[in-house]
Amino acid sequence: MKRAKAEASLLIEDDRVRVTRFDFEAGSETGWHKHEFDYVITAVSDCNMLLEEIETTREVLVPAGTAYRRSEGVEHNVINNSNEPMSFVEVELK
């Protein structure tokens, strides 16, 4: 299925961190990618995500104002699984 791409806006990048804001229209996606660093995301809006992973697909809700972290090596596609726009800020720890 062909989906629109989420908009990625680089906010900060230096030798220690990369901070990117992701804005998704309904049904849009990041596209498949592999994280080269540990990272934290903080939801700007409620984020009802469909995560396509190597061996599974799962739904995840990250409420606005909350955060989660994952380790480097994660490979997935993040899809906005709602009819509303969603946004989060990702901080990669170099």
Give residue 67's pLDDT. 97
pTM for the whole structure: 0.95
Give residue 2's pLDDT. 86
Pick the CATH number of 7-93 from 1.20.1250.20, 2.60.120.10, 3.40.640.10, 2.30.42.10: 2.60.120.10
User: What are the residue boundaries of the structural domains of the chain, listed by start?
Assistant: 7-93
pLDDT (tens, 9 = 90+) of the chain, 94 residues, equals 689 999 999 999 999 999 999 999 999 999 999 999 999 999 999 999 999 999 999 999 999 999 999 999 999 999 999 999 999 999 999 9
Give residue 16's pLDDT. 98
The span from the CA of 29 to the CA of 47, in Å, is 12
